[in-house]
Amino acid sequence: MIIRSRAPLRLGLAGGGTDVSPYSDQFGGAILNATISLQTYASLKPTDNGKIVFRAVDRNEHFETEATDFIEPKGDLLLHKGVYNRIIKEFSKQPMSFELTTYSDAPAGSGLGTSSTLVVAILGAFVEWLKLPLGEYDIAKLAYDIEREDLGMAGGKQDQYAATFGGVNFMEFLPNDNVIVNPLRVNPIFLNELEHNLLLYYTQTSRVSANIIEKQSQNVKEKNTQSVDAMHKLKEQAQMMKEAMLKGQLEKIGKILDFGWQNKKQMAEGISNSQIDEIYDACMNAGSIGGKISGAGGGGFMIFYCPENTKHKVAEVLSQLGGQVKKYHFTKNGLTTWTI
């Protein structure tokens, strides 16, 4: 028997950063995101040899131990260890023997929610194996708790919910960890056109998002007016993006992205840098009318809105800057699991 699981990565289109505590706890956050065809994968094979084996094929990492009810969360493959420990604590109550192999279509630190999405995929494999009675909200919340509480990793809330639910969603992050996912019924024609015009670019750099997020959180705690005001504007941006997508006002999306980017840079030091600014300016000069860094900032993927057929010129310019334009499609499905 082999249990398979996959979960989609996401493009954060608006409101990024307002899902991070303490801002979301004090003011409430709002984000609009959409899942794409880049995925994370988990394959779980039960064994009877009394061993636990973790493999991350894309990272060339391997961990093996005797079956136990707790694995010290340190070293490589922290996410794998964190999920296993929580599954034992809350559900299995006893050691299990298995091999778990994972893979991601995008590297860690790329800004597409890779780490959180991988946690969702791994959780999905255990849910499928153990037939756990968990719904979408349960899985997303559990994934969040494992990362943020058990493993102490700084970050927001949107990625776990995007990976679990899939599709285009307007998400509200309210006090007391209350999250509401509103699936948007975007006209397929509008979504096809957005996909045609929205270019995804990997800068060939990665970053530790926790460092930027910690600065952002500190700015809120210290009541940094510039930073907090910028987050308010990004929450407004999420509403603007929601209306534009539902009404098919695609000509507004580039400017809405640019509005968000100009404000996002004010949230914390390190979100942008000279390389990112150079890339952004080059794309705007080539025909893009707006864009943003994906995720917390500092590196990873960027997106650019290129109206009509300007994406070909923008892609040509980007190819000269050392990165890679990445093909993708929007997807409707979130976490998917099956057994063979």
- Catalytic positions are 159
DSSP 22: T
Residue 131: CA count within 13 A, CB half-sphere: 0
Note the residue count of the chain: 340
Q: How far is CA 149 from CA 74, 118, 145, 206, 223, in A?
A: 15, 17, 5, 24, 24
DSSP 284: H
Sequence-distant (6+) residues with CB within 8 A of 224 are: none
Radius of gyration of the chain (CA): 20
Q: How far is CA 318 from CA 108, 201, 308, in A?
A: 22, 8, 18
- Does the CA dihedral 88-91-93-97 come out positive or negative? negative
Q: How far is CA 204 from CA 136, 145, 298, 320, in A?
A: 33, 30, 12, 13
Q: What's the CA gap between 216 and 70, in Å, rounded?
A: 33
Pairing mode, strands 290-293 and 301-305 = antiparallel
